[in-house]
Amino acid sequence: MNNSYSNKKICASVIIPSYNCARYIGHLLQSLQNQKTDYAFEVIVVDSGTDNSAELVRRDFPWVNLVRSETRLHPGQGRNLGIENAKTDLFLFTDTDCRVGELWVNDIVNGYRTGKQIIVGPVMNGTPRSIWGTIEYLLEFFDSWNVRNGVKIGPCGTLNVFFTRNIFAKYGPFDHYLNGSDSRFFRRALAGGDAIYWQSDVRVWHHNRTELRAVIRNQFKLGKGAAKTGREFKSRNSFMVEHPYLIPLAPILRSIRIGWILLRKCPKNFLIYLLLYPLALAGLIVHGYGFACGVLEKNRETRHDR
């Protein structure tokens, strides 16, 4: 930790859920150790894995507050436990497979000081040399680029987000789902009248999955999560949840949406998307299949409850 601010009063807490990420977590913690900021902050890693992540953190980053759980925690549960252990009222979130920019903490806290209670920033492609890593990035983070600074946006993830304890008290805790707990949290915040502000200079780089099997598996999980969210909240997925005979159109509609957003926000990424589309189509189809499975599961649960 930078000695120039380590003796100052801690004003912010960085919370990181961790599960079997020894391969990446060192890069993230090193990027946090190298922060250039006027604000003192703590880092809380909530680890529930079975690899040597905890030992690595204790050995190489002794200044980190390591919270261990012998029970496997989903990301939302890990974030809840991190908040329970936080010493401050300002919470910054990212994931173990990310690294943050050197002004990340400084820029987020400065954004908070302008009156923003929830801030989200862009997720950059941390695997630009991998075809499958780039495909996953485009399919998952296609709308995380080139939005005008300070605008209000819709539901977001927790790879690069900030909110206050007051926000958590109103809309928390995070749900105990493997996928979608972050989206549901921020949908509750939007429904409650709180705004989510985009801050384009607050950036993280995500290490995407680079193997076909891992990308396909993740797209299936994301599809199922989208179905759950579409049933619980009024979203763009709600209509398809209510009219499941339209689900076969999901890959086509999602293809168009991703392409249109990339074309408007980042033409360079749009050209890459066109070039890789024959391969990306596999992920889009699997996402649609996961969506269909999620809808069927919910329908069976509904019939069972009756």
Kindly report, residue by residue over 118-154, the tens digit of the pLDDT: 999 999 999 999 999 999 999 999 988 767 788 898 8
- Residue 301, by phi and psi: left (phi above 0), alpha (psi -120 to 50) or beta? alpha
Tell me: domain 10-206, CATH 3.10.180.10, correct? no
Q: Is 6 exposed, middle or buried (0-12, 13-18, 19+ CB in 10 A)?
A: exposed
Give the pLDDT of residue 60.
97
Rounded-to-integer distance, Cα 56 and Cα 68, Å: 13
Nearest C-alpha neighbor of 161 from the set 128, 199, 135: 199
CB atoms within 10 A of CB 151: 12
Q: Regarding predicted confidence, which is higher, 157 or 301?
A: 157
3 has pLDDT over 60: no
Average pLDDT, rounded, for the chain: 91
Contact 202, 101 (CB under 8 A): yes
Instruction: Please give the single-letter amino acid code of residue 224.
Output: K
- Counting Cα atoms < 13 Å in the Cβ hemisphere of 232 gives 18
Q: Give pTM, 2 decimals.
A: 0.90
Confidence of residue 183 (pLDDT cuts 50, 70, 90): confident
The tokens of 91 are what? Answer: 């919470």
CB atoms within 10 A of CB 22: 17
Q: Which of 52-56, 228-232, 263-267, 293-297 has the highest mean pLDDT?
A: 52-56
Say which residue the tokens 């495909």 belong to: 135
Digit-coded pLDDT (tens) for 54-103: 999 999 999 999 999 999 999 999 999 999 999 999 999 999 999 999 99
- For 164-180, what is the mean pLDDT? 89
Contact 161, 117 (CB under 8 A): no
Contact 200, 121 (CB under 8 A): yes
Q: Is 263 exposed, middle or buried (0-12, 13-18, 19+ CB in 10 A)?
A: middle
Q: In what order do the strands lie in the sheet with 123-125?
A: 98-100, 204-206, 123-125
202 has pLDDT over 70: yes
- CATH 3.90.550.10 placement within the chain: 10-206
Contact 40, 10 (CB under 8 A): yes
Digit-coded pLDDT (tens) for 209-258: 999 999 999 999 999 888 887 777 767 778 888 888 889 999 999 999 99
Digit-coded pLDDT (tens) for 104-119: 999 999 999 999 999 9
Digit-coded pLDDT (tens) for 8-53: 689 999 999 999 999 999 999 999 999 999 999 999 999 999 999 9
Rounded-to-integer distance, Cα 137 and Cα 124, Å: 8
Rounded-to-integer distance, Cα 256 and Cα 267, Å: 14
Please tell me whether residue 243 adopts helix, strand or coil conformation. Answer: coil
Nearest C-alpha neighbor of 161 from the set 171, 36, 5: 171
303 has pLDDT over 60: no
**In whole angstroms, what separates CA 32 from the centre of its chain?**
17
Rounded-to-integer distance, Cα 138 and Cα 102, Å: 24
